[in-house]
Structure 1
Amino acid sequence: MDILPILVTWDFTDVSAYALEHAVRMSSMSGKNIVLLHILKNDSEEETVVSQLKTVSKECKRKHGIEPKIIVKTGNIFTTISETANNIQARLVVMGTHGYSGIQKIIGSRVKRVLSKSNAPFVVVQAPPKQIYLKRIIFPIDSNTETKENVSFIINLANLYRSEVIVLKNITNNLKLDFKTDLTCDFIINNLQSNNINYTEHIHRDKTNFYNAAIDFVGKKQADLIAITTNEINSLKDYFYDTAKQQLVANCHKVPVICFNPKKDNLLTI
């Protein structure tokens, strides 16, 4: 199996086709191969599904010049996706979803088992890509210091696509939280500057929910990608905070979101 391929979860729905289109865009820029993963409920369907996936793969080659490899496994999304991603050393996992109800299945508390066991970030998509390039990447920054771990990956993306990184900084008037946010933001901006990444910084000072405001900001800036770090859920406060991020992932503008798992190595290139 090729090192660091892009893994696409495939369930024969429109949104899985959107996920494949996004993976094709990334592959055309990065040279990574694509792997389609379908998860079976029972082995009796395997022969039929393999045949259908081969058709999908050949059609992809006809349209885009890229022929994805296929993997069919019996299991469930909560373990099989992360196990497969780790086994093939996937660089990214691209998943399609149907709005907020679908996001709850992907980013909700149960699916922490998917992200927590995966070494690769997840790109969650609701619609096909609008263009081949990622012109604007929105990077919301709050008091979560683990966000710093993802800056190398964002820099690699920005270099690959010649993107502008738009840093959206949350100010709450809570001195302790804002101090942590300032440190994280300064670290990220210093790294962007040292790598000659085109960036702008915007500050959100409103007391309204930061991630709801970020959704409006995404629309105004016509963003092509949003980057967030998922939270470890250790308390009720963490749960509601993470629920706000779910709404950002399911944003009404249908902008794809790359979700980083805390404490994973995101230093490798796309």
Structure 2
Amino acid sequence: MTRLIVPVDFGEVAANAVNYALELAPQFETGVALLHVVPEDDQFHRAEVEMEKFKERFKSTDVELKSYILVGNLFEDIAKAAELLEAYMVVMGTSGLKGMQYLFGSHALRMMTNARTPFLVTQENPPKAEIHKIVVPIDLSTEDKRIMSLAIQASRLFEARIHLFVAHHTDEFSRNSTYRNEQFAHKYLNEHNVHHTTTHADGNKDFDKELLDFAELISADLVTLVNHKEQGFLNLLGKNFDQNLITNDKGIPVLVLNAHQYKKLNDIFDVFA
């Protein structure tokens, strides 16, 4: 069964995401499905032709590669297709925020708002899909057990080390709350015998910038992010943590986990335990 889905528009960013998914697929012991959505029926045939041309770029792969074309709404139907195909994950390429998208959110963000399937977002030129170092941010909003449980499952699947990166706060309440989250993370990871390190932000920059600088410094392969759907992604001042992380310019893939996916994600990772 195909369990990794890649939305494609036949461009270079999508092609990079496909290559990343093809490298990742053997770790999940699964195939890859390409998905393209057109708004009108009269565009279907042309999309079929483009899809066949696009698939030729990956003919040397040993991974099973399927393709689907849907007529509908891009932002709704990719999420629906992922559920229908029982996908483990959607691997999606993004070139970040451009122009007016900066105000209204990137395509990737809008699709993830409707998704009940995890998204692994890659940038224009993603690294090889060899995941050895996973960065997990620790801050006030950390949903302790959920994030740590998923981090543990991911570390076991990829045989990766967890790197906790703890936010810096100056006020006592925030500092104490973050400290409690950090201590819980240590305890939970130690109880499950997960190798991990801890680094503290120094507070000289916004937390998302410090986090990405740290991830780049240690050559991290993945950053995890838990999104709260009800809070939305976008901040009109451009300071939204989720958005800045997902559209980062350092080429670091981001695994986006929605809080309401918790049970499903544990079921997914349990397959490989």
- TM-score under structure 1 normalisation? 0.85
Does the 8 A contact of 1:141 with 1:184 survive in 2? Answer: yes
In structure 2, the residue matched to 1:183 is 180
Does the 8 A contact of 2:97 with 2:106 survive in 1? Answer: no
Amino acid at match of 1:175: E
Of residues 74, 85, 93, the one that matches 1:77 is 74
Structure 1's unaligned 5+ residue stretches are: none
Of residues 26, 29, 45, the one that matches 2:27 is 29
Of residues 145, 152, 155, the one that matches 1:155 is 152
In structure 1, the residue matched to 2:166 is 169
Q: Secondary structure at the match of 2:26?
A: helix
Distance 1:117 1:99, change over 3 A: closer
Distance 1:260 1:103, change over 3 A: farther
**2:261 pairs with 1:264:** yes
- Counterpart CA distance in 1 for 2:119 and 2:199 is 25
- Counterpart CA distance in 1 for 2:239 and 2:221 is 22
In structure 2, the residue matched to 1:47 is 45
Residue by residue over 1:149-199, the C-alpha shift from the partner in whole angstroms, topping out at 9 and shown as x without a partner, is 233332222222221211101130333323332333333333332333221
Residue by residue over 1:24-57, the C-alpha shift from the partner in whole angstroms, topping out at 9 and shown as x without a partner, is 1220212122111101021112123224324444
Out of 237-246 and 71-80, give the one that drifted further: 237-246
Amino acid at match of 1:183: R
Distance 1:218 1:181, change over 3 A: same
Q: How many pairs align?
A: 267
Does the 8 A contact of 1:134 with 1:161 survive in 2? Answer: yes
Deviation at 1:209, TM superposition (A): 1.0
What pairs with 1:120-269 in structure 2 (closer than 5 Å)?
Answer: 120-146=117-143, 148-206=145-203, 208-232=205-229, 234=231, 243-265=240-262, 266-267=265-266, 268-269=268-269
Percent identity over the alignment is 23
- TM-score under structure 2 normalisation? 0.84
Does the 8 A contact of 1:6 with 1:23 survive in 2? Answer: yes
Structure 2's unaligned 5+ residue stretches are: none
In structure 1, the residue matched to 2:87 is 90
Q: Secondary structure at the match of 2:211?
A: helix
